[in-house]
Amino acid sequence: MTNPVKRVVILGGGTAGWITAGLIAADHPPGFDDSVQVTLIESPDVGPIGVGEGTWPTMRETLKRIGLPESDFIASCEASFKQGSKFIGWANGELGDQYYHPFMLPEGYHDFPVADVWQRLPTDKPFAEVMGAQPHVCERALAPKQITTPDYEGVFNYGYHLNAGLFGERLKQHCTNKLGVRFISDHVTGINGDKHSDIEGLHTREHGLLEGDLFIDCSGSKALLIGEHYGVPFRSQSHILFNDRALAVQVPYATDDADIASATLSTAQDVGWIWDIGLPSRRGVGYVFASGYTDEDQARVCLDQYLRASVDTATADSLEPRLISFEPGYRQVFWQHNCVAVGMASGFLEPLEASALALVELSAKMISDELPMTRATMGVVAKRFNERFHYRWNRIIEFLKLHYVLSQRPGAYWQDNRDADSIPQSLTELLSLWQQRTPNRNDFYHVDEVFPAASYWYVLYGMGFKPEVLFGSRGARDYAAARSTFEQVLKRLPQYLQAMPTNRRLIKQILAQAAPTP
């Protein structure tokens, strides 16, 4: 076989590096024609950022695929259950301004035009609360499953909130102990290869030259391979997404039995928004803002005011948020020669809707699924990868921008977000269409879209989007059947609320049963 791809070298650990290593090692084990040796090298001086992170439901399939039991994951990573996002104050900032973007599809999603029917329903309740039970479950901090429900299955669709530092360490243990990933703690001092051709190996301080056939850049925002070595340009998106700073802090609970939120709380501010993520032992809170509209001191005051609403004075005085700087954007190409970027090396937008880890999962899965057996076909795989992820990044940018475009909050920051020059042309066109018809699957035609039409419904109608016309004939024709479906949801709701344990109770039950980590 000519130039077989047998040695995969990953530069950088953390969640991006270890998820990628785990998926490739699990999918290409020894004893098969497509088997590979995965080596991950990480500098001993690089530590995790350490803020709480949110995932999509896709993480369940990822963890199952690499063979990590869910109870083990919950116990070792301070994980909790996430069932969506709750947006507070985004539409206009007035009292009662809130809506959910839950992980469950609306009832009847595959049976009738849900959004068309919604326009005709005689209700003033938010869209998501009429279309399903999950927002009501989240409001009560309930779990998506019971202790008897098998691993990675649920009554309601769910992802996780987790401690990113602990997650990276548990993945490292699993990959090295169970999947045969070779781990090297060392400093990379140079790259063997020309920037116009393949990388042949990485020079290290203690281990010499590490040769490979495919190199995966998970070196974070430094992008040592795709950026520094190959010089692939970075496409800033700051003209669309204005936020470029975050103040992050870990907040203790007032009591040991305090509720653990079932959704990421996203609360709009005069400039930016605040995330609030519930883990079993603490909350992860952060203020995402735009340095062009406020400075760090003002941002700290804003975050402090938010925190003092939920903790006592002594606790608030003891908290010291850390400043994180970033530039929203992504690489012009993600796969160059025999190097592919994953995680922050490929780009970063902002924490809204928790797309960062989802892009890591999608990248790692496509690399593993399409892993070329020889160098001869790598160019074809790279082209497909670059096309797919250009599409995905731009779709995510559009979806994030949608939240800002629909807001009626006052102030220069929000007004500028609504300025036509800051809105992608493709989103402008879609909003024009949606004034006369609901978003549908023709707008999102890829089989594996990052956000389905339902996600757009939740945001549009949660934010109070008003179409110019009452939608079409199918909505009228299916109205009776649809209304019956929604009424059944409300009838079943008390059963769900009674049967589901709280997040905290279920996590305690899982921890009591969890086996020790090997």
- Could you write out the DSSP letters of every residue in 458-471? HHHHHTT---SS--
Q: Are residues 310 and 344 in the same domain?
A: no
What pLDDT, on a 0 to 100 scale, did the predictor assign at position 52? Answer: 53
Q: Are residues 179 and 70 in the same domain?
A: yes
Q: Are residues 75 and 169 in the same domain?
A: yes
Q: Are residues 68 and 111 in the same domain?
A: no
Identify whether 516 is part of a domain: no
Q: Look up residue 341 and give its two tokens.
A: 């970027």
Q: Are residues 457 and 359 in the same domain?
A: no
Identify whether 45 is part of a domain: yes
Q: Are residues 215 and 230 in the same domain?
A: yes
What pLDDT, on a 0 to 100 scale, did the predictor assign at position 404? Answer: 98
Burial zone of 32 (CB within 10 Å; 0-12 exposed, 13-18 middle, 19+ buried): exposed
Residue 286: name the closest of 30, 71, 91, 50 by CA. Answer: 50
Identify whether 512 is part of a domain: no
Contacts of residue 383, defined as CB under 8 A and 6 or more positions apart, other chains included, come to none
What pLDDT, on a 0 to 100 scale, did the predictor assign at position 109? Answer: 87
Report how many domains make up the chain.
3
Identify whether 511 is part of a domain: no
What separation in angstroms does the CA of 41 have from each of 1, 6, 343? 28, 17, 16
- How many Å apart are CA 282 and CA 305, to the nearest integer? 19
Residue 300, beta-bridge partner list: none
Q: Are residues 289 and 437 in the same domain?
A: no
CATH number at residue 21: 3.50.50.60
- How many Å apart are CA 304 and CA 298, to the nearest integer? 10
Q: Are residues 71 and 168 in the same domain?
A: yes
Burial zone of 500 (CB within 10 Å; 0-12 exposed, 13-18 middle, 19+ buried): buried
What pLDDT, on a 0 to 100 scale, did the predictor assign at position 49? Answer: 55
Q: Domain end: 325, 351, 369, which one?
A: 325
Identify whether 509 is part of a domain: no
Vertex 32 angle, CA 31 and 38, to 5°: 80
- How many Å apart are CA 350 and CA 242, to the nearest integer? 9
- How many Å apart are CA 175 and CA 178, to the nearest integer? 6
Amino acid in the structure at residue 26: A
- How many Å apart are CA 50 and CA 101, to the nearest integer? 25
Residues of the chain with pLDDT under 70: 1, 47-52, 469-476, 515-518
Amino acid in the structure at residue 93: G
Identify whether 1 is part of a domain: no
Contacts of residue 417, defined as CB under 8 A and 6 or more positions apart, other chains included, come to 242, 401, 404, 405, 407
Amino acid in the structure at residue 447: V
Q: Look up residue 389 and give its two tokens.
A: 């992820």
- How many Å apart are CA 425 and CA 457, to the nearest integer? 20
- How many Å apart are CA 439 and CA 42, to the nearest integer? 44
- How many Å apart are CA 77 and CA 279, to the nearest integer? 10
- How many Å apart are CA 260 and CA 142, to the nearest integer? 9
Q: Are residues 488 and 400 in the same domain?
A: yes
Give Cα 227 to chain centroid, integer Å: 23
The string of pLDDT tens digits covering residues 487-504 is 888 888 999 999 999 999
Contacts of residue 443, defined as CB under 8 A and 6 or more positions apart, other chains included, come to 430, 433, 453, 456
Strand ranges for 290-431 from DSSP E: 322-325, 329-331, 335-336, 339-341, 347-348
Q: Are residues 315 and 181 in the same domain?
A: no
Q: Domain end: 307, 325, 343, which one?
A: 325
Domain of residue 474 covers: 104-152+394-499
Residue 5: name the closest of 187, 212, 193 by CA. Answer: 212
Residue 435 phi/psi, 5° resolution?
A: -70, -20
> How far is the first Cα of the chain from the last one, in angstroms, to the nearest whole number?
39
Q: Are residues 213 and 334 in the same domain?
A: yes
- 3-state percent breakdown (helix, strand, coil) of the chain, nearest 5: 40, 20, 40
Identify whether 335 is part of a domain: yes
Identify whether 506 is part of a domain: no
Q: Are residues 223 and 312 in the same domain?
A: no
Vertex 104 angle, CA 100 and 109, to 5°: 110
